[in-house]
Structure 1
């Protein structure tokens, strides 16, 4: 299973390189089901893996001229605030077992995986549907961009998800960016959000297996290089629906497994 996990980790980078998101959607299931990492720890590991991989991708897009720094910071700063609130104040105080009904108990780990699977299903629908919002020419709405950034930070803090599938539509709608600019700027935002979130976990003393993390990250970086090279020749928007169907299937698999077979 570990060999399969390392091989699957390449897809994390491929996804980020091609469509500017989806890395965490793959990272959490890979860590939980292939490497047997508990879901709470997986959210922390995901921040490091996705953040490191996105950093490489954002640099590549910077060289291609696809980064919009002002939009990235406007989105990322409120995101960082909500991430720190969730991971350092709220998350540590959530009980391991939330409640029980007869012999069925709902744990924090179960809640993480169920919420994550619902998010996967919602994200997959947005990937599958055609989206032409980037073709409009409108002024950048920095206030709405900041509000959405704060909301995405809540998701990143709770689930360890970079939120690229939410960031990109926000950049297309409210920052008036092209698809390639939205992908590059999304990677920078994911880098900032994930790095701050992981740094917060280090600060509160979460146990981290760095050799393991470096191994997964190395494979994801290989995938990022592959995805970035492919994106130069193929528009990531064309591949997004295919990835969306894969995410949809994975989302239903996770919610079925966790709800019906976890107790």
Structure 2
């Protein structure tokens, strides 16, 4: 059983890493349902803690590729991540106190909402020259901090990296183009994931063997996702739409399972 579980965890990690590499997010929101319904982790809280570590490491690996391609707005990303880390610490502390099955049901509802927001995306153009400087700080800093804390709290509560929350948050706060928001979001995904993971680790709610399997698969999947992303860069909108459908379907299944229980 352990071998099968490890194999399924590795395969799930490949899928999560591939999605993160392809469209800069989304893998994290699939990690918890994969661990619960595919790998067979019986405790939703252990699934959340385990996925938080794995997703954080996968995000860091994918961040390297985006940074090399100069698609990371570092100052904006670091301020957003710092503000969000505080929110993630509070959110994950509250999430641990919440009933596991109810948390999963709410998680499914969040997936459906995020899928709807992905469909609703309008103009994805933006200002590629946006920078956080002394002259722009008065306008950008309050927005980055406000969006960061809010997104971090949600990410910590549900135990996700929050990539699909961070990306629209960065775009709304700064007006940067989507491609830069995707690269920059991985800084926050890593920071939020590690904050949540630390909180859960202190409570013994992480399966470290599954973490290793998930990370191994995630690194392989991330390389494949980045390669395909470069080849299909002009079709990212179509890819996002397809993935939104998948997120909505998985979210509906999670809610159905939660309500049935």
Q: TM-score, normalised by structure 2?
A: 0.87
Residue from 27, 36, 40 that aligns with 2:40: 36
CA–CA distance in 1 between the matches of 2:127 and 2:78? 22
CA–CA distance in 2 between the matches of 1:157 and 1:13? 20
Report the counterpart of residue 102 of structure 1 in structure 2.
none
Residue from 223, 230, 233 that aligns with 1:232: 230
CA–CA distance in 2 between the matches of 1:226 and 1:143? 37
Alpha-carbon contact 1:14-1:226 (below 8 Å) kept: yes
Deviates further, 235-244 or 25-34: 235-244
CA-CA distance at 1:160 after TM superposition:
0.8
Report the counterpart of residue 189 of structure 2 in structure 1.
190
CA–CA distance in 1 between the matches of 2:116 and 2:222? 24
Alpha-carbon contact 2:28-2:55 (below 8 Å) kept: yes
Aligned-pair Cα RMSD in Å: 2.0
Inter-CA distance 243–59: structure 2 relative to 1 (3 Å threshold): same
CA–CA distance in 2 between the matches of 1:10 and 1:24? 12
Inter-CA distance 142–233: structure 2 relative to 1 (3 Å threshold): farther
Report the counterpart of residue 56 of structure 1 in structure 2.
61
CA–CA distance in 2 between the matches of 1:257 and 1:208? 23
CA-CA distance at 1:5 after TM superposition:
4.6
CA-CA distance at 1:39 after TM superposition:
0.7
CA-CA distance at 1:149 after TM superposition:
0.9
CA-CA distance at 1:207 after TM superposition:
4.2
CA–CA distance in 2 between the matches of 1:177 and 1:26? 26
CA–CA distance in 2 between the matches of 1:182 and 1:32? 30
Q: Report the secondary structure of 1:135's partner residue.
A: coil
Residues 115-130 of structure 1 aligned to structure 2 (within 5 Å): 115-130=106-121
Runs (5+) with no aligned partner, structure 2 = 131-135
Which one has a larger percent helix, Structure 1 or Structure 2?
2
- What is the number of residues matched between the two proteins? 246
Q: TM-score, normalised by structure 1?
A: 0.86
CA–CA distance in 2 between the matches of 1:92 and 1:210? 18
Report the counterpart of residue 167 of structure 1 in structure 2.
166
Deviations 1:38-67 (A, max 9, x none): 111111111101100000011111111011
Report the counterpart of residue 75 of structure 1 in structure 2.
80
Deviations 1:89-148 (A, max 9, x none): x34444xxxxxxxxxxxxx11111111101100111122234314336887633122111
Q: Does residue 142 of structure 1 match 2:154?
A: no
CA–CA distance in 1 between the matches of 2:97 and 2:172? 36
Residue from 9, 13, 30 that aligns with 1:9: 13
